[in-house]
Structure 1
Amino acid sequence: MIQKWRSGKEGETFRRSVFFKLLLSFMAILMIPFVIGALLYGRMEQALIENAYDSNQTLLQQTRLAVDSRMNEVDQLAAQIAFDPMLQLFLYEENNRASINDYTYIELIRNLKRYRTLSPFIDDYYVYFKQSDRIVTTTIRTDTDTFYRYINEYQNRSLDEIKSLLNSYHLRTYLPAEPIQYDQKQRSMITTISSLPMGDNTEVRGSLVVTIDETQLLGQLRKSDHRETDYYIFGADGQVISTTSDRSGALEDLRSSMGHGYGNLAATIGGTDMLISYTTSSQNNWTYVSVIPKTIILSKVNETKSLALLLVLLCMAGGFAVSYYLAYKNHRPIRELIHTILQGKNMSGVAIRNEFAFIRNELLSSIVEEKQMRGVLSQQKPVIQADFISRLMKGFVDTSSLKESDYSFMNVSLPHPYYGVVLLQIDDCRRFVQEESEREWTLVRFILINLSNELLAGNGYAIELDRDRVGILLNSTESIAEKGNELDRLLQSIKSQMEGKFRTSVTIAVSNMKSGIHGIAVAYGEAVTAMEHKSMQEQGSVIYYDTIRGVERHYFYYSLEMEAQLMNYAKSGDYSNVEKVLDQLFEINFQSRSISPEMAKYLSSELMSTVIKLLSALNIDDETFFGGEGESFKYLAKIGTAEEMSATLKRLYLAICEKVTGDRSDHSDLLASRIRCYIESHYDSNELSLTTIADHVGLNPSYLSTFYKKQMGHNVTEYITSLRMKEAKTLLAETELTVAAIAIKVGFANDIGLIRLFKKTEGITPGKYREIAGGSGPDNEAVL
């Protein structure tokens, strides 16, 4: 008999013995002639199916062309009526009694009657006027309620639903076929609605409605094929417009499998195998589908197949009996040997698993993990790009160390030699948003960023800076930013489109163009300075820094952002970036423009105030840094020129950074020790992660990872893995716990993670390691 071994899961049985392989070998020899016959039959069957598909596609194409031609007549009628001069007058002047009276209504009815067509597709058409809630047909004028209750009654739609459709915007909307009570008759009609004025989605004044007789459309479908074929027409939105089948919902589950264009597929509908062909019209995006039972195509072939199948079953029964006898006889010595090995090693109950299934599962798991990782990286690309550009504009990036690979990773390309910064301040968006919530502000910023990126056409990047501010990093071949040039026309276009389309007022501040990427931070400062003059300009202006330079000498530039940069760099001991910020600050105030001596004194006071704040935050005695002076302002009084001010400030910040760096080494050793202690006491928890460790020590996860790697020479994950592997090997060698229990005990969620990691680091499975180490406890890993 076939040997069975039960796995760790209750009720799961594996039949993977040598006996089974021997039986399959004998059966394989027996199956060779049957396989050849089946292949020949399958090829013949496939050829018939392919011929049927070709025939279906040809008929569908003919049907599509015929229907498209008829629908083109509908489109032409709608266009002629929509642009009728009399109709245009009614759309805009209907309530003006001076120009609209009963006679003009009669004239409109006559005009509509002139567009009558001989096409059997078009049953009727009429115009709905939204302002007066009236309907004008080719014969009468009436109100909407009377028309849809007594003249043209929809059986499946309420009056409110119809009014909602007529009052909303439609370019060319087709409603599925449905019964309409018309002239005391009930007929199935397809309704098409087009909003008036045609193409204007800002204000709907009415609608043109054309009804199409479905029986004429179905006649076009049926006359092309006399087989038992069902036809469906799907609209662009996936709804069934019309069908010859009584089961209109039969294809809804398969609609998503049909692509754009044309194609074929097979499916089972209502227990019947069907051959499905489809093609899509480029005119109105309708999809034409034909469905024919597979049995009709293969009726003769199936009769021969039934007889052949009976003979195959008889041969298979005899062949299986002979194969089973031979396999059982040859397997007896192997079965006895396996029984002896299992008894000798006390391995009763060990699960014998399918090696191929295990490999397949691992491969699928790796593919899923890779896709997830790629998906996460792809989602983060816009965030990484925006963060990099923001820090680049604000001077937080060391531009001298950037390489091409860095730009590629950040998804940023800056091929042109000149750089500039543009700030877009959202002044008033109340006419566009419903309420000033974060969601509405996010929508406005999203629109402004996308509009800017579209108009920039690769010459820069637009990013979000603040709740009501968007920044643009310009990269241009032009070295001058001024009124009248290409950049000015682009900015004027952004401003006009935001005001015209989205009713949002925007003020724009533009820096001078700088040569070299190192000038971006200076350009950002100029743009901020230009934006500060918004109060002296008209709302929605474009302010160029170059135009306000001459009036700048009564003001100095030292923004809160620049002060925050200085303090953050100094607290981290990064003197090189502190020096860059100071150089930018003095270039803006003393080189790019000239401020008055009084303003220079005020600027000096502000800069010294920042130093005092920094000393207080770091708990540093200020007398050490002010040359023995009791007060910082006495020390400040000794500073003379701007060059002396710059040199003095650099000396102070250098001393602060050196002290911070010196104090940090002892703190780093203590922090690294805290991290290791926390890992060693929590490595057996499957909730341990970089985030939980960072929360414990109060650091950012990415900073913690970089810090630990630099301090210890290995990363956090490697250390956690080494602790878990060491404990797992101890438990495998010294206890009788199962692999699943050991996995949970050392911090894995299940045994799959432990087995994968064990094989990666040790080269063998946990069960094999236990066998080598001399363990005899029960295990649930496969014997390989």
Structure 2
Amino acid sequence: MEEVENITRQLSLDQDLNYLLNEQVDVDYFNVYALWKSWRNTSAYSLTNNFLEDFYIYLNNYQVIFTPSGVFVRPDDYFDLYHYQDMERSQWKQEILGKIHRRETLPSQPFINNGKKTNVITYLQSIPFDTFQHSLGTAVILIDESEIAKMLHRVPEQYGGWAYICDKEGNTIARVGIEDSQIKALHIPDLIGKGSTNTLVEDKTLLISSKSTYNGWVYVVGLPKNTVMRQSAFIAKVTWTITASTLLLGIVAALLFAYRNSAPINRIVTVFWDQASQAGYKGKNEYDFLQGNISNLLASQKSLEEELKRQQPLLEDAFVKRLLKGEFDSLQEVRTLLYSLPNMNLKGDAGYVAIIRINGYSGLVSKEIIHELNAARLLMKKFLHEVEGVFQLNVTDIDLDKMAILITFGEAVHSAEANELAAVFDQLRDYVKAEYRIQITVAIGSSFQALSDSSRSFEEARQALDYSVLFEEAKTIWYQDVIKESTTYYYPIDMELRIMNAAKIGELQEVHRIFEQLLEQNFSERQLSAEMVQQLFGELKGTFFKLLLHSPFTDQAVSEGLKSRVEQLQLSTSLDRFRNEILGLLEAFCNRVLKKKEDSTGEIISKIVTFLDSHYPESDLNLYRISVAVELPEKYISQLFKEQTGENLSDYLEKIRIKNATDLLFNSEHTIDEISQHVGYNSAHAFRRAFKRVSGVSPSIYRKTVN
């Protein structure tokens, strides 16, 4: 009945029906179109529930009746075909159509339905729904008693008992397997009135009742005692069988799981036992043995961690030494190793390299002198570590009387930072001279803009330190103040290796930077003769020929194209032209590497798209299966797809599924549930949400629109 009430509430909210109910009616004019439109909307409700096959709506102002089959302009015409057997026409108009009703239910009464006699239960509701004084219309729902009885037929058919329903006044609404006289003879209403829900009647029938809190109806079932006992015995037997089977299966499963879960532990015990056969804790039993040896392992791990922490400064010192000696092949390798040293303090990628020499100890080696030099280096390191400024100092020993300092800045180096750095070394010189009578010389190379270029600054600092022998007093010497030798060109082996490594991995920006440094060293800070320029040009051509021997330039077609360009390279009279030709060739090498990377990337993306196009109907399709298909890690293909296409892999898969779903909605008769399974969704609800998210409308609205 609650469902019936909800439907009458929906009827009262129908806009077209409310428009008709509130319309001022002219006796000479009927709004036929509005009547037809409202009837069409309300007649559809008869399809929503088996209890709503027969209903009608009376409109007071038009004095017409809507039924699922048509519109009766005269209520008398409706009464002629459909009326209560024991109710007169005037009484029907007064009691049913004329009064205000609020969720009223009339008990079962004989009813003439187009000449056919039946019993109906009547539900009455005035429109508007919550009206108290004036009603605009009445909704009357006729519920066939046989429809309710159908729900009760299972009781006598299956259990041999009976059932009936009565309203809160005790009037019978529906009954199966029992007559009204039997109900009165058994005094069932009295038993129900006492609040008893489970009672034995005459020691033969078990009476079970339940009262609805919604409308006060009482549902009563009478079951024979022998049937109840037979069913109880069957249920008890089934329950014991299931319980015993469950216990048995549980024991078997527990044994299997215990065996399966103990297998790894047994293997661990075996491994530990093999290792502990020579040394280790033996234990009283396997668990004691495991506990003791795992405790030893944890203790060993802790001591190893502490040892690694103690070794951290040595690792950082080794990193600085390798960096200054130019032992890294590329800037990428520098950054990778730096990432593994989280405590390594560097302000940035730009800076200087300086070398400090303790004067007066050259060529002197003894135990006392070594101790003195060690103490002097420790004092200077302590002073430098306490210095605060815009730069970071990383100190490493390169000889008994020499220290190298990697100086990094947070941004590009300017003259103000250089002056501040010089002031720090002046303070250091004054401090060690005043406190410990130690004299030092400081040599500083030219600035670098990338950590991989610090080795060049280190070599320049060495040259500046060698140049300091021309000065009698200790001072700070800058590389730019050193008189450069112009009789030879500058192209050290480490710079050649850096150019080659950068070109092999396609780092065009790094290649440009190193080559610009090479030009500055040879043509800005030196004045080379024509012969030296020719030799430098030959060295550069040799570098290109060496590159052709390395992957990815070993492909014959690529090698021939680049090789011909290298062979045609000629020394130009103009420095700009010389610079552009070399840079153009370097760019060609880098572009070849980048193109090969793009081709590989495009092939991977094509594989992913092809796999998705052929496997999108599978609901278990996920990132792991895609990674197996293309033989690459999940995280890598997810990031690569996002970078190359601009959208997430999951979003692309969703679009493929929705696109195919739209084709099925337009070109097939499949239901929405079937389509959701065809395109790879586990549930129709998930499919509807995805469809609306992508298309902006629900699948049902889309199908109606395209049709």
TM range, smaller chain = 0.3 to 0.5
Provide TM-score, normalisation by structure 1.
Answer: 0.30
Higher relative contact order (CA 8 A, sep 6+): 1
Provide TM-score, normalisation by structure 2.
Answer: 0.33
Larger Rg: 2
